[in-house]
Structure 1
């Protein structure tokens, strides 16, 4: 009986996390970062860097959410339900106000950001270029060793994604979900959701970035969030879900 309840809790958390992440991330800044970087660099490197950042962020968010479980479940359950309702209403309002080509601005913003990082990368390459000998052995050897393991593209994909995700809607959602659902289910579901979105961005690249209607995704997202808030009215806080 308790085993079944645990499995059900895990599945419920997994489904909740994966659906919420997909509607939060499609057409989001992190989606565009992966899409644009994958058009210019090695796709696997970009995917690995972005996924490491998103996986790490999901686990951190789950820990934050789980830490709140010291507070009696009744409170966290209703607070999280209220947050879902607020997120849902905000997403619906944003979506309805958006112009159909809303995502393009974000796309251009990310392109500019990546271009700036590229120029910085080129400058450091020039500085540490053939004139390496002059900078002394102490500075160049560790750097060369590092570059064998981690390419600058990997680091760029990781840092850009991590910073874009911090404080983002999907991070807050993961924290809220982990406070009320099975934390393992949320961690796995969240990571799989990110994997799907980032994988899609890396493979589809520009085509998806241009075809995707951020407006439609935002409206659907708002409905999904409201559905979670609404479902809480029928599930008691201590039903094991």
Structure 2
């Protein structure tokens, strides 16, 4: 593992996920079920989602360098625009987190949590970022470790700190900081594209 790549993935994914439906879906699940099985289910879903994104990004890296860095730049620019435009909107809702407290066994709650988060994360900005980082760096395990750690931190905050955290998050600021990070990564990818073409 390369620590700088792990940190890059962590620093990029964490602010993207803080104001995301992930935090609020985990929060809703934790208010309805015991926190530990929710965290296990959510963490497992994130692990699988990150593995899929890293695999997609690694496959992308098999293409010519100029094409890869151009695609990475576009992925990050799209993410930056989405984040910036959503900065003034409220938190994404977590209405799909399921109703009621039925089925309180550890495995059932973990399975419900896994299903909710696995479905909610498809095409998410963190997946785009993870795929882009996996394509940019030739370090899939490092990207996986950093991205998964960031997602576990976000879900852990939601599950174990709960409502107090959701009420105090400056969502607009977090989304704007994440958008700026995406622009920086896009700019680096553009520079790499130009170098690969010359």
Q: Does 1:171 align with 2:127?
A: yes
Q: Which residue number in structure 1 is paired with residue 161 of structure 2?
A: 204
Answer whether contact 1:73 1:180 (CA < 8 A) is retained. Answer: no
| 2-structure distance, mates of 1:77, 1:183 | 16
Q: Provide structure 1 residue ranges, at least 5 long, that are not aligned to the other structure.
A: 1-6, 126-146
Query: How far apart are 1:13 and its partner, in Å?
Result: 2.2
Q: Higher Cα Rg: structure 1 or 2?
A: 1
Query: How far apart are 1:232 and its partner, in Å?
Result: 3.6
Query: How far apart are 1:152 and its partner, in Å?
Result: 1.7
Higher relative contact order (CA 8 A, sep 6+): 1
Query: How far apart are 1:82 and its partner, in Å?
Result: 2.8
Q: TM-score, normalised by structure 2?
A: 0.87
Of 163, 188, 192, which residue of structure 2 is paired with 1:231?
A: 188
Q: Which residue number in structure 2 is paired with residue 24 of structure 1?
A: 16
Q: TM-score, normalised by structure 1?
A: 0.73
Query: How far apart are 1:86 and its partner, in Å?
Result: 2.9
Q: Which residue number in structure 1 is paired with residue 64 of structure 2?
A: 72
| 2-structure distance, mates of 1:66, 1:237 | 21
Q: Does 1:113 align with 2:96?
A: yes
Moved over 6 A (4+): 236-239
Answer whether contact 2:17 2:151 (CA < 8 A) is retained. Answer: yes
Query: How far apart are 1:238 and its partner, in Å?
Result: 8.7
Q: Which residue number in structure 1 is paired with residue 47 of structure 2?
A: 55
Answer whether contact 1:73 1:238 (CA < 8 A) is retained. Answer: no
Answer whether contact 1:13 1:183 (CA < 8 A) is retained. Answer: no
Query: How far apart are 1:33 and its partner, in Å?
Result: 1.3
| 1-structure distance, mates of 2:77, 2:142 | 22
1:79-94 aligned at under 5 Å gives the runs 79-94=71-86
| 1-structure distance, mates of 2:49, 2:108 | 20
Q: Does 1:14 align with 2:39?
A: no
Cα deviation, 1:34-68, whole Å, max 9, x if unaligned, reads: 11222232111111000000011101110111112
Give the stretch that moved more between structures: 69-78 or 22-31.
69-78
1:180-195 aligned at under 5 Å gives the runs 180-181=136-137, 182-195=139-152
Q: Provide structure 2 residue ranges, at least 5 long, that are not aligned to the other structure.
A: none
| 1-structure distance, mates of 2:49, 2:188 | 27
Q: Which residue number in structure 2 is paired with residue 156 of structure 1?
A: 112
Per residue, is there more helix in 1 or in 2?
1
